[in-house]
Amino acid sequence: MNGFINVHQAAAKWDVTPRQIQLWCKAGKFEGALKWNNRDWVIPENAERPPIVRHKHKLNKKIGGDSNNG
């Protein structure tokens, strides 16, 4: 398909796994991405890599001792 790249090409282009590309496609991160033959994703050649979003986990720390721990 002219104007499109497959999942493996996109993964190599952006140095991520093919699975990550599939997840981004499913989440709608690429405008114009299509599912080809109800199986394979194709992404427009001019698509840009979605930003990496990392979540910071809050740690629940208790200050001091717990008087209920006998």
Question: What's the pLDDT tens digit per position in 23-56?
Answer: 999 999 999 999 999 999 999 999 999 987 777 7
Given a contact cutoff of 8 angstroms between Cβ atoms, the answer to whether 42 and 33 are in contact is yes
Q: φ and ψ at 30, to 5 degrees? A: -110, 115
- Spatial distance between the Cα atoms of 20 and 22, rounded to a whole number of angstroms: 5
Sign of the CA dihedral with 14 first, then 39, 5, and 48 last: negative
> Mean pLDDT across the chain, nearest whole number?
86
pTM of the full structure? 0.72
Helix, strand, or coil here: 54?
A: coil
